[in-house]
Amino acid sequence: MTDAVERDHSAFQHRTRRKPVELVHPGRKLVVVTCRQPDPAAVASKGNSGGLVAALAPAIERSCGTWIAGKPLEQPAAEEPRSRANGSHEVPYRTVSVRYPADLHEGYYAGLSNGVLWPLYHSMPHDQSRCRTAEWRDYCLVNRYFAAVAAEQSPPGSFVWVHDYQLSLVPGVLREMTHGSLEIGFFLHTPFPSYDMFRILPWAREILRSMLAADLIGFHTEDYRRNFCDCVKRLLGIPCDANAGEIRLDGRTVRLRAIPVGVDAQAIYRLIEDPWVRHAAARLREKIGAERLLLGVDRMDYTKGIDRRVEAVDLLLERHPEWRGRVMLAQIAVPSRVEVSPYQALRAEIEQLVGNVNGRWGREDWNPIKLLCRSYPLRELVAWYLAADVALVTPYRDGMNLVAKEYCAANHASQGVLVLSELAGAADELGDALLINPYDLEGLTESIHRALKMPPEEQRSRMQRLNQRIQACDAHYWVDTFLAEAGWRKRF
Protein backbone atom coordinates (compact mmCIF):
# COMPACT_ATOMS: atom_id res chain seq x y z
CA MET A 1 0.00 0.00 0.00
CA THR A 2 1.13 3.58 -0.60
CA ASP A 3 1.85 5.88 2.38
CA ALA A 4 -1.42 7.76 1.76
CA VAL A 5 -3.44 4.56 1.57
CA GLU A 6 -1.75 3.22 4.72
CA ARG A 7 -2.69 6.41 6.59
CA ASP A 8 -6.30 6.12 5.37
CA HIS A 9 -6.33 2.46 6.37
CA SER A 10 -5.07 3.21 9.90
CA ALA A 11 -7.64 5.97 10.37
CA PHE A 12 -10.35 3.66 9.02
CA GLN A 13 -9.44 0.96 11.56
CA HIS A 14 -9.45 3.47 14.40
CA ARG A 15 -12.94 4.68 13.52
CA THR A 16 -14.32 1.15 13.42
CA ARG A 17 -12.97 -0.22 16.72
CA ARG A 18 -15.76 -1.18 19.09
CA LYS A 19 -15.99 -1.51 22.82
CA PRO A 20 -16.71 -4.98 24.22
CA VAL A 21 -20.36 -5.89 24.60
CA GLU A 22 -21.72 -4.51 27.88
CA LEU A 23 -24.59 -6.68 29.06
CA VAL A 24 -27.39 -5.08 31.06
CA HIS A 25 -27.93 -8.37 32.92
CA PRO A 26 -24.40 -9.73 33.43
CA GLY A 27 -25.64 -12.44 35.78
CA ARG A 28 -27.98 -13.95 33.20
CA LYS A 29 -26.98 -16.30 30.42
CA LEU A 30 -27.12 -15.82 26.69
CA VAL A 31 -28.02 -19.10 24.98
CA VAL A 32 -27.66 -19.30 21.19
CA VAL A 33 -29.47 -22.05 19.28
CA THR A 34 -28.50 -22.93 15.70
CA CYS A 35 -29.10 -25.86 13.39
CA ARG A 36 -25.38 -26.61 13.15
CA GLN A 37 -22.37 -25.95 15.37
CA PRO A 38 -19.71 -23.62 13.95
CA ASP A 39 -16.30 -25.12 13.31
CA PRO A 40 -14.38 -24.93 16.64
CA ALA A 41 -11.12 -24.32 14.80
CA ALA A 42 -12.62 -21.28 13.08
CA VAL A 43 -13.86 -19.89 16.40
CA ALA A 44 -10.49 -20.41 18.04
CA SER A 45 -8.70 -18.65 15.17
CA LYS A 46 -10.41 -15.32 16.06
CA GLY A 47 -10.23 -13.65 12.70
CA ASN A 48 -10.47 -16.52 10.26
CA SER A 49 -14.15 -17.30 10.74
CA GLY A 50 -17.44 -16.00 9.42
CA GLY A 51 -19.09 -12.81 10.66
CA LEU A 52 -21.86 -14.49 12.66
CA VAL A 53 -19.46 -16.69 14.63
CA ALA A 54 -16.96 -13.91 15.24
CA ALA A 55 -19.67 -11.59 16.54
CA LEU A 56 -21.68 -14.06 18.63
CA ALA A 57 -18.76 -15.79 20.35
CA PRO A 58 -17.66 -12.80 22.51
CA ALA A 59 -21.23 -12.09 23.64
CA ILE A 60 -21.78 -15.73 24.67
CA GLU A 61 -18.42 -15.82 26.41
CA ARG A 62 -19.06 -12.62 28.42
CA SER A 63 -22.36 -13.98 29.73
CA CYS A 64 -20.86 -17.42 30.49
CA GLY A 65 -23.46 -18.66 28.06
CA THR A 66 -23.96 -21.66 25.83
CA TRP A 67 -24.11 -22.43 22.10
CA ILE A 68 -26.60 -25.20 21.30
CA ALA A 69 -26.53 -26.95 17.92
CA GLY A 70 -27.83 -30.14 16.35
CA LYS A 71 -26.16 -33.45 15.66
CA PRO A 72 -28.23 -36.44 14.54
CA LEU A 73 -27.46 -39.74 16.22
CA GLU A 74 -26.03 -42.48 14.04
CA GLN A 75 -28.60 -44.89 15.41
CA PRO A 76 -32.25 -44.18 16.34
CA ALA A 77 -32.47 -42.89 19.90
CA ALA A 78 -35.07 -43.14 22.63
CA GLU A 79 -38.06 -40.85 22.48
CA GLU A 80 -36.70 -38.47 25.11
CA PRO A 81 -34.41 -35.77 23.74
CA ARG A 82 -30.81 -36.00 24.83
CA SER A 83 -27.99 -33.48 24.93
CA ARG A 84 -24.25 -33.78 25.19
CA ALA A 85 -22.05 -31.00 26.51
CA ASN A 86 -18.70 -30.32 24.92
CA GLY A 87 -16.11 -29.47 27.53
CA SER A 88 -13.37 -28.80 24.99
CA HIS A 89 -11.21 -25.73 25.50
CA GLU A 90 -11.08 -25.09 21.75
CA VAL A 91 -13.89 -22.54 22.02
CA PRO A 92 -14.31 -19.78 24.64
CA TYR A 93 -17.81 -20.84 25.68
CA ARG A 94 -19.79 -23.97 26.45
CA THR A 95 -21.28 -25.94 23.57
CA VAL A 96 -24.08 -28.48 23.75
CA SER A 97 -25.13 -30.90 21.00
CA VAL A 98 -28.79 -31.74 20.42
CA ARG A 99 -28.75 -35.47 19.71
CA TYR A 100 -31.84 -36.49 17.78
CA PRO A 101 -32.62 -39.75 15.96
CA ALA A 102 -30.90 -40.11 12.60
CA ASP A 103 -34.09 -41.44 11.01
CA LEU A 104 -35.67 -37.99 11.51
CA HIS A 105 -32.88 -36.10 9.77
CA GLU A 106 -33.85 -36.77 6.17
CA GLY A 107 -37.41 -35.52 6.58
CA TYR A 108 -36.38 -32.60 8.82
CA TYR A 109 -33.34 -31.30 6.98
CA ALA A 110 -33.36 -32.42 3.34
CA GLY A 111 -37.17 -32.67 3.25
CA LEU A 112 -39.03 -29.88 4.99
CA SER A 113 -36.21 -27.41 5.73
CA ASN A 114 -34.34 -27.44 2.44
CA GLY A 115 -36.82 -29.08 0.10
CA VAL A 116 -39.78 -26.86 1.04
CA LEU A 117 -38.97 -23.89 3.29
CA TRP A 118 -35.71 -22.84 1.60
CA PRO A 119 -37.15 -22.48 -1.94
CA LEU A 120 -40.41 -21.04 -0.64
CA TYR A 121 -38.67 -18.36 1.45
CA HIS A 122 -36.59 -17.43 -1.61
CA SER A 123 -39.77 -17.19 -3.73
CA MET A 124 -38.59 -20.10 -5.86
CA PRO A 125 -41.04 -22.94 -5.01
CA HIS A 126 -39.77 -25.34 -7.62
CA ASP A 127 -41.69 -28.40 -6.36
CA GLN A 128 -44.30 -27.60 -3.75
CA SER A 129 -45.96 -30.96 -4.40
CA ARG A 130 -43.36 -32.34 -2.00
CA CYS A 131 -45.10 -30.78 1.04
CA ARG A 132 -45.39 -34.14 2.75
CA THR A 133 -47.02 -34.57 6.13
CA ALA A 134 -44.39 -37.11 7.19
CA GLU A 135 -41.62 -34.57 6.65
CA TRP A 136 -43.56 -31.95 8.58
CA ARG A 137 -43.87 -34.39 11.48
CA ASP A 138 -40.10 -34.99 11.41
CA TYR A 139 -39.52 -31.23 11.37
CA CYS A 140 -41.83 -30.79 14.37
CA LEU A 141 -40.13 -33.59 16.32
CA VAL A 142 -36.61 -32.29 15.71
CA ASN A 143 -37.67 -28.78 16.70
CA ARG A 144 -39.01 -30.24 19.96
CA TYR A 145 -35.64 -31.89 20.58
CA PHE A 146 -33.92 -28.52 20.18
CA ALA A 147 -36.45 -26.77 22.41
CA ALA A 148 -36.11 -29.42 25.14
CA VAL A 149 -32.33 -29.07 25.24
CA ALA A 150 -32.60 -25.26 25.24
CA ALA A 151 -35.02 -25.45 28.17
CA GLU A 152 -32.67 -27.81 30.03
CA GLN A 153 -29.64 -25.57 29.48
CA SER A 154 -31.27 -22.18 30.17
CA PRO A 155 -31.80 -21.05 33.80
CA PRO A 156 -34.84 -18.81 34.40
CA GLY A 157 -34.19 -15.32 33.11
CA SER A 158 -31.83 -16.46 30.33
CA PHE A 159 -32.08 -14.93 26.88
CA VAL A 160 -32.40 -17.69 24.27
CA TRP A 161 -31.55 -16.53 20.75
CA VAL A 162 -32.85 -18.99 18.12
CA HIS A 163 -31.61 -18.78 14.54
CA ASP A 164 -33.19 -19.43 11.17
CA TYR A 165 -35.88 -21.29 9.29
CA GLN A 166 -34.78 -24.80 10.31
CA LEU A 167 -35.79 -23.98 13.91
CA SER A 168 -38.86 -21.79 13.44
CA LEU A 169 -40.98 -23.93 15.81
CA VAL A 170 -38.49 -23.75 18.69
CA PRO A 171 -39.77 -20.43 20.17
CA GLY A 172 -43.33 -21.79 20.56
CA VAL A 173 -42.30 -25.12 22.07
CA LEU A 174 -39.74 -23.45 24.32
CA ARG A 175 -42.24 -20.93 25.71
CA GLU A 176 -44.68 -23.76 26.38
CA MET A 177 -42.05 -25.89 28.14
CA THR A 178 -40.68 -23.08 30.33
CA HIS A 179 -44.03 -21.34 31.08
CA GLY A 180 -42.66 -17.95 30.00
CA SER A 181 -39.64 -17.96 32.35
CA LEU A 182 -37.21 -17.20 29.49
CA GLU A 183 -36.79 -14.29 27.13
CA ILE A 184 -36.71 -15.52 23.54
CA GLY A 185 -35.30 -13.97 20.39
CA PHE A 186 -35.53 -15.29 16.84
CA PHE A 187 -33.57 -14.17 13.77
CA LEU A 188 -34.43 -15.22 10.23
CA HIS A 189 -31.36 -15.29 7.97
CA THR A 190 -33.34 -15.87 4.76
CA PRO A 191 -35.87 -13.57 3.09
CA PHE A 192 -39.41 -13.72 4.41
CA PRO A 193 -41.74 -14.10 1.40
CA SER A 194 -44.89 -12.21 0.48
CA TYR A 195 -48.33 -13.35 1.61
CA ASP A 196 -49.18 -14.86 -1.80
CA MET A 197 -46.03 -16.97 -1.64
CA PHE A 198 -46.06 -17.92 2.05
CA ARG A 199 -49.67 -19.08 2.05
CA ILE A 200 -48.67 -21.91 -0.32
CA LEU A 201 -47.24 -23.68 2.73
CA PRO A 202 -49.83 -25.98 4.36
CA TRP A 203 -48.34 -25.25 7.80
CA ALA A 204 -47.90 -21.50 7.39
CA ARG A 205 -50.11 -20.65 10.37
CA GLU A 206 -48.29 -23.05 12.69
CA ILE A 207 -44.93 -21.48 11.79
CA LEU A 208 -46.24 -17.95 12.29
CA ARG A 209 -47.73 -18.77 15.70
CA SER A 210 -44.52 -20.36 16.88
CA MET A 211 -42.33 -17.48 15.70
CA LEU A 212 -44.67 -15.10 17.55
CA ALA A 213 -43.80 -16.90 20.79
CA ALA A 214 -40.50 -15.00 20.65
CA ASP A 215 -40.26 -11.60 22.35
CA LEU A 216 -38.11 -10.17 19.54
CA ILE A 217 -37.99 -11.27 15.89
CA GLY A 218 -35.24 -9.99 13.61
CA PHE A 219 -35.09 -9.75 9.81
CA HIS A 220 -32.44 -8.47 7.41
CA THR A 221 -34.61 -5.85 5.67
CA GLU A 222 -37.73 -3.78 6.11
CA ASP A 223 -39.36 -5.61 3.19
CA TYR A 224 -39.02 -8.97 4.97
CA ARG A 225 -40.33 -7.48 8.21
CA ARG A 226 -43.38 -5.99 6.48
CA ASN A 227 -44.04 -9.26 4.63
CA PHE A 228 -44.14 -11.02 8.00
CA CYS A 229 -46.58 -8.43 9.39
CA ASP A 230 -48.82 -8.85 6.37
CA CYS A 231 -48.86 -12.64 6.76
CA VAL A 232 -49.68 -12.38 10.48
CA LYS A 233 -52.63 -10.09 9.74
CA ARG A 234 -54.01 -12.05 6.80
CA LEU A 235 -53.36 -15.63 7.90
CA LEU A 236 -53.88 -15.32 11.67
CA GLY A 237 -56.16 -12.28 11.84
CA ILE A 238 -53.87 -10.67 14.44
CA PRO A 239 -53.43 -6.87 14.19
CA CYS A 240 -49.88 -5.78 13.49
CA ASP A 241 -48.50 -2.26 13.77
CA ALA A 242 -46.11 -2.43 10.82
CA ASN A 243 -44.75 1.08 11.38
CA ALA A 244 -43.92 0.51 15.03
CA GLY A 245 -42.98 -3.11 14.43
CA GLU A 246 -45.13 -4.39 17.29
CA ILE A 247 -47.75 -7.09 17.76
CA ARG A 248 -49.83 -7.39 20.93
CA LEU A 249 -50.49 -11.02 21.72
CA ASP A 250 -51.57 -12.84 24.90
CA GLY A 251 -50.83 -9.85 27.11
CA ARG A 252 -47.30 -9.28 25.80
CA THR A 253 -45.67 -7.31 22.99
CA VAL A 254 -43.74 -9.02 20.21
CA ARG A 255 -41.23 -6.65 18.63
CA LEU A 256 -40.27 -6.97 14.94
CA ARG A 257 -37.03 -5.35 13.83
CA ALA A 258 -35.01 -5.08 10.62
CA ILE A 259 -31.37 -5.54 11.67
CA PRO A 260 -29.11 -6.46 8.74
CA VAL A 261 -26.25 -8.81 9.55
CA GLY A 262 -22.76 -7.58 8.72
CA VAL A 263 -19.26 -8.96 8.32
CA ASP A 264 -16.38 -8.99 10.79
CA ALA A 265 -14.76 -6.00 9.13
CA GLN A 266 -11.90 -5.76 11.62
CA ALA A 267 -10.83 -9.34 10.86
CA ILE A 268 -10.72 -8.53 7.15
CA TYR A 269 -8.74 -5.32 7.73
CA ARG A 270 -6.17 -7.33 9.68
CA LEU A 271 -5.98 -9.97 6.98
CA ILE A 272 -5.28 -7.54 4.15
CA GLU A 273 -2.18 -6.45 6.09
CA ASP A 274 -1.00 -10.06 6.36
CA PRO A 275 2.09 -10.56 4.09
CA TRP A 276 0.94 -14.10 3.26
CA VAL A 277 -2.44 -12.82 2.04
CA ARG A 278 -0.90 -10.08 -0.09
CA HIS A 279 1.60 -12.51 -1.58
CA ALA A 280 -1.19 -15.04 -2.27
CA ALA A 281 -3.22 -12.34 -4.04
CA ALA A 282 -0.25 -11.45 -6.21
CA ARG A 283 0.32 -15.11 -7.13
CA LEU A 284 -3.35 -15.51 -8.07
CA ARG A 285 -3.02 -12.58 -10.44
CA GLU A 286 0.01 -14.21 -12.04
CA LYS A 287 -1.73 -17.56 -12.48
CA ILE A 288 -5.08 -16.50 -13.97
CA GLY A 289 -3.64 -16.04 -17.46
CA ALA A 290 -5.74 -12.95 -18.15
CA GLU A 291 -5.53 -9.20 -17.63
CA ARG A 292 -8.78 -8.90 -15.69
CA LEU A 293 -10.29 -11.19 -13.07
CA LEU A 294 -14.01 -11.57 -12.37
CA LEU A 295 -14.83 -13.41 -9.13
CA GLY A 296 -17.89 -15.27 -7.91
CA VAL A 297 -18.03 -16.82 -4.43
CA ASP A 298 -21.15 -18.79 -3.56
CA ARG A 299 -22.46 -21.97 -2.10
CA MET A 300 -23.50 -24.38 -4.84
CA ASP A 301 -27.16 -23.38 -4.62
CA TYR A 302 -29.82 -22.72 -7.26
CA THR A 303 -30.73 -19.40 -5.60
CA LYS A 304 -27.25 -17.95 -6.26
CA GLY A 305 -27.60 -17.41 -10.00
CA ILE A 306 -24.31 -19.11 -10.94
CA ASP A 307 -25.85 -20.41 -14.17
CA ARG A 308 -26.92 -16.92 -15.29
CA ARG A 309 -23.44 -15.58 -14.43
CA VAL A 310 -21.81 -18.17 -16.68
CA GLU A 311 -24.25 -17.30 -19.47
CA ALA A 312 -23.41 -13.60 -19.03
CA VAL A 313 -19.68 -14.27 -19.52
CA ASP A 314 -20.55 -16.21 -22.67
CA LEU A 315 -22.62 -13.29 -24.00
CA LEU A 316 -19.92 -10.77 -22.98
CA LEU A 317 -17.33 -12.57 -25.13
CA GLU A 318 -19.79 -12.76 -28.02
CA ARG A 319 -20.81 -9.10 -27.96
CA HIS A 320 -17.49 -7.58 -26.84
CA PRO A 321 -14.78 -9.55 -28.60
CA GLU A 322 -12.12 -7.22 -27.21
CA TRP A 323 -12.34 -9.18 -23.92
CA ARG A 324 -11.51 -12.54 -25.49
CA GLY A 325 -8.27 -13.78 -23.99
CA ARG A 326 -8.21 -10.82 -21.58
CA VAL A 327 -10.80 -11.65 -18.92
CA MET A 328 -11.52 -14.70 -16.77
CA LEU A 329 -14.24 -15.60 -14.28
CA ALA A 330 -13.05 -17.58 -11.27
CA GLN A 331 -16.20 -19.11 -9.80
CA ILE A 332 -15.79 -20.56 -6.31
CA ALA A 333 -18.77 -22.86 -5.71
CA VAL A 334 -18.70 -24.34 -2.22
CA PRO A 335 -20.37 -27.79 -2.13
CA SER A 336 -23.60 -27.55 -0.14
CA ARG A 337 -26.35 -29.95 0.95
CA VAL A 338 -24.79 -32.68 -1.15
CA GLU A 339 -27.35 -35.17 0.19
CA VAL A 340 -30.22 -33.17 -1.39
CA SER A 341 -30.90 -34.36 -4.96
CA PRO A 342 -31.58 -30.91 -6.57
CA TYR A 343 -28.13 -29.82 -5.41
CA GLN A 344 -26.50 -32.85 -7.01
CA ALA A 345 -28.22 -32.05 -10.30
CA LEU A 346 -27.24 -28.38 -10.03
CA ARG A 347 -23.52 -29.16 -9.87
CA ALA A 348 -23.74 -31.30 -13.00
CA GLU A 349 -25.64 -28.52 -14.79
CA ILE A 350 -23.10 -25.85 -13.83
CA GLU A 351 -20.15 -28.04 -14.85
CA GLN A 352 -21.76 -28.63 -18.25
CA LEU A 353 -22.42 -24.90 -18.77
CA VAL A 354 -18.83 -24.03 -17.88
CA GLY A 355 -17.55 -26.75 -20.21
CA ASN A 356 -19.68 -25.41 -23.07
CA VAL A 357 -18.42 -21.82 -22.63
CA ASN A 358 -14.79 -22.88 -22.31
CA GLY A 359 -15.22 -25.13 -25.35
CA ARG A 360 -16.64 -22.26 -27.37
CA TRP A 361 -14.12 -19.55 -26.48
CA GLY A 362 -11.14 -21.22 -24.81
CA ARG A 363 -7.65 -21.39 -26.25
CA GLU A 364 -4.58 -23.42 -25.42
CA ASP A 365 -3.30 -20.73 -23.03
CA TRP A 366 -6.64 -19.38 -21.72
CA ASN A 367 -10.11 -20.44 -20.63
CA PRO A 368 -12.74 -17.81 -19.79
CA ILE A 369 -14.10 -19.64 -16.72
CA LYS A 370 -12.40 -21.54 -13.92
CA LEU A 371 -14.83 -23.48 -11.68
CA LEU A 372 -13.52 -24.24 -8.18
CA CYS A 373 -15.86 -26.58 -6.30
CA ARG A 374 -14.32 -26.32 -2.85
CA SER A 375 -14.40 -24.16 0.27
CA TYR A 376 -11.75 -21.66 1.37
CA PRO A 377 -11.00 -20.24 4.82
CA LEU A 378 -11.48 -16.49 5.17
CA ARG A 379 -7.73 -15.90 4.88
CA GLU A 380 -7.63 -17.42 1.40
CA LEU A 381 -10.90 -15.79 0.36
CA VAL A 382 -9.47 -12.37 1.20
CA ALA A 383 -6.56 -13.11 -1.14
CA TRP A 384 -9.09 -13.84 -3.91
CA TYR A 385 -10.97 -10.62 -3.07
CA LEU A 386 -7.75 -8.59 -3.34
CA ALA A 387 -6.85 -10.25 -6.64
CA ALA A 388 -10.25 -9.67 -8.29
CA ASP A 389 -11.04 -6.61 -10.39
CA VAL A 390 -14.80 -7.26 -10.23
CA ALA A 391 -16.97 -9.28 -7.82
CA LEU A 392 -20.15 -10.77 -9.28
CA VAL A 393 -22.73 -11.24 -6.53
CA THR A 394 -25.82 -11.95 -8.59
CA PRO A 395 -28.23 -14.27 -6.74
CA TYR A 396 -31.79 -14.69 -7.93
CA ARG A 397 -32.77 -14.08 -4.31
CA ASP A 398 -30.74 -13.85 -1.10
CA GLY A 399 -31.52 -12.95 2.49
CA MET A 400 -28.41 -10.79 2.76
CA ASN A 401 -25.18 -12.07 1.09
CA LEU A 402 -22.03 -11.41 3.08
CA VAL A 403 -19.66 -12.03 0.15
CA ALA A 404 -20.65 -8.61 -1.21
CA LYS A 405 -19.66 -6.96 2.07
CA GLU A 406 -16.47 -9.00 2.49
CA TYR A 407 -15.29 -8.05 -1.00
CA CYS A 408 -15.84 -4.35 -0.34
CA ALA A 409 -14.11 -4.51 3.06
CA ALA A 410 -11.09 -6.24 1.53
CA ASN A 411 -10.82 -3.53 -1.13
CA HIS A 412 -11.64 -0.46 0.97
CA ALA A 413 -8.15 0.97 0.50
CA SER A 414 -7.84 0.17 -3.20
CA GLN A 415 -9.95 -0.39 -6.30
CA GLY A 416 -12.55 -2.91 -7.34
CA VAL A 417 -16.14 -3.02 -8.56
CA LEU A 418 -19.09 -4.83 -7.02
CA VAL A 419 -21.84 -6.01 -9.39
CA LEU A 420 -24.76 -6.82 -7.09
CA SER A 421 -28.21 -8.31 -7.53
CA GLU A 422 -30.96 -5.94 -6.51
CA LEU A 423 -32.78 -9.02 -5.15
CA ALA A 424 -30.16 -9.63 -2.46
CA GLY A 425 -30.81 -8.13 0.96
CA ALA A 426 -27.40 -6.45 0.80
CA ALA A 427 -28.66 -4.20 -2.02
CA ASP A 428 -30.65 -2.18 0.52
CA GLU A 429 -27.36 -1.04 2.06
CA LEU A 430 -24.93 -1.18 -0.86
CA GLY A 431 -26.54 1.18 -3.34
CA ASP A 432 -23.17 2.33 -4.71
CA ALA A 433 -22.60 -1.08 -6.27
CA LEU A 434 -23.67 -1.67 -9.87
CA LEU A 435 -27.15 -3.02 -9.15
CA ILE A 436 -28.61 -5.48 -11.64
CA ASN A 437 -31.69 -7.64 -12.14
CA PRO A 438 -30.30 -11.21 -12.17
CA TYR A 439 -33.07 -12.37 -14.49
CA ASP A 440 -31.97 -9.81 -17.12
CA LEU A 441 -29.13 -11.57 -18.97
CA GLU A 442 -28.37 -8.66 -21.30
CA GLY A 443 -28.43 -6.15 -18.44
CA LEU A 444 -26.06 -8.30 -16.39
CA THR A 445 -23.72 -8.68 -19.37
CA GLU A 446 -23.54 -4.94 -19.99
CA SER A 447 -22.98 -4.24 -16.27
CA ILE A 448 -19.97 -6.59 -16.34
CA HIS A 449 -18.68 -4.73 -19.39
CA ARG A 450 -19.19 -1.41 -17.61
CA ALA A 451 -17.43 -2.69 -14.48
CA LEU A 452 -14.41 -3.79 -16.50
CA LYS A 453 -14.18 -0.34 -18.12
CA MET A 454 -14.87 1.74 -14.99
CA PRO A 455 -12.21 4.43 -14.37
CA PRO A 456 -10.08 3.95 -11.22
CA GLU A 457 -11.30 7.23 -9.72
CA GLU A 458 -14.94 6.11 -9.92
CA GLN A 459 -14.02 2.70 -8.48
CA ARG A 460 -12.34 4.29 -5.46
CA SER A 461 -15.17 6.75 -4.89
CA ARG A 462 -17.83 4.03 -4.97
CA MET A 463 -15.78 1.70 -2.77
CA GLN A 464 -15.27 4.40 -0.14
CA ARG A 465 -19.00 5.06 0.07
CA LEU A 466 -19.77 1.32 0.25
CA ASN A 467 -17.34 0.92 3.12
CA GLN A 468 -18.86 3.75 5.12
CA ARG A 469 -21.96 1.60 5.43
CA ILE A 470 -20.06 -1.65 5.99
CA GLN A 471 -17.94 -0.23 8.81
CA ALA A 472 -20.96 1.32 10.51
CA CYS A 473 -23.04 -1.88 10.43
CA ASP A 474 -20.60 -4.75 10.87
CA ALA A 475 -21.26 -8.13 12.48
CA HIS A 476 -20.60 -6.81 15.99
CA TYR A 477 -23.06 -3.96 15.43
CA TRP A 478 -25.66 -6.55 14.40
CA VAL A 479 -25.21 -8.56 17.61
CA ASP A 480 -25.08 -5.44 19.76
CA THR A 481 -28.22 -4.00 18.16
CA PHE A 482 -30.21 -7.20 18.53
CA LEU A 483 -29.20 -7.55 22.20
CA ALA A 484 -29.99 -3.89 22.79
CA GLU A 485 -33.44 -4.32 21.28
CA ALA A 486 -33.90 -7.30 23.59
CA GLY A 487 -32.83 -5.18 26.58
CA TRP A 488 -29.68 -7.23 27.07
CA ARG A 489 -27.06 -4.77 25.94
CA LYS A 490 -26.58 -1.15 26.88
CA ARG A 491 -27.44 1.29 24.14
CA PHE A 492 -24.40 2.58 22.26
Could you read off the pLDDT of 424-450 as tens digits, one per residue? 999 999 999 999 999 999 999 999 999
The per-residue pLDDT for 245 is 95
Q: Does domain 268-472 have CATH number 3.40.50.2000?
A: yes
CATH of domain 21-262+475-485: 3.40.50.2000
CB 442 within 8 A of CB 315: yes
Where are the chain's structural domains? Answer: 21-262+475-485, 268-472
Fill in the amino acid letter for 160. Answer: V
- The DSSP code sequence of 323-381 is GTTTEEEEEEEE---TTSHHHHHHHHHHHHHHHHHHHHH-BTTB-SEEEE-S---HHHH
Rg (CA), the chain: 23
The per-residue pLDDT for 47 is 45
CB 299 within 8 A of CB 118: no
The per-residue pLDDT for 157 is 92
Could you tell me the strand order of the sheet in which 327-334 lies?
369-372, 327-334, 292-299, 390-393, 417-421, 434-436
Mean pLDDT of 137-151: 98
Computed over every residue of the chain, the mean pLDDT equals: 89
pTM above 0.85?
Answer: yes
Q: 117-131, 188-202, 222-236, 326-340: which range is least confident on average? A: 117-131
Mean pLDDT of 134-143: 98
The per-residue pLDDT for 10 is 46
Q: Do domains 21-262+475-485 and 268-472 have the same CATH topology?
A: yes
Q: Minimal CA–CA distance to 329: which of 382, 276, 303, 366?
A: 366
The DSSP H or E segment spanning 457 is helix 456-472
Mean pLDDT of 348-375: 96
- Where residue 320 falls among pLDDT bands split at 50, 70, 90? very high
Give me the helices (H) in 164-248, please: 170-178, 195-198, 204-211, 222-231
Percent of the chain with pLDDT over 90: 76
Mean pLDDT of 409-415: 91
CB 398 within 8 A of CB 312: no
Is 41 a residue whose pLDDT tops 80?
A: no
Could you read off the pLDDT of 15-31 as tens digits, one per residue? 444 554 555 555 679 99
Mean pLDDT of 344-368: 95
Is 9 a residue whose pLDDT tops 50?
A: no
Q: How far is Cα 368 from Cα 428, in angstroms, rounded to an integer?
A: 31
Secondary structure (3-state) at 151: helix
Secondary structure (3-state) at 158: coil
Mean pLDDT of 293-311: 97
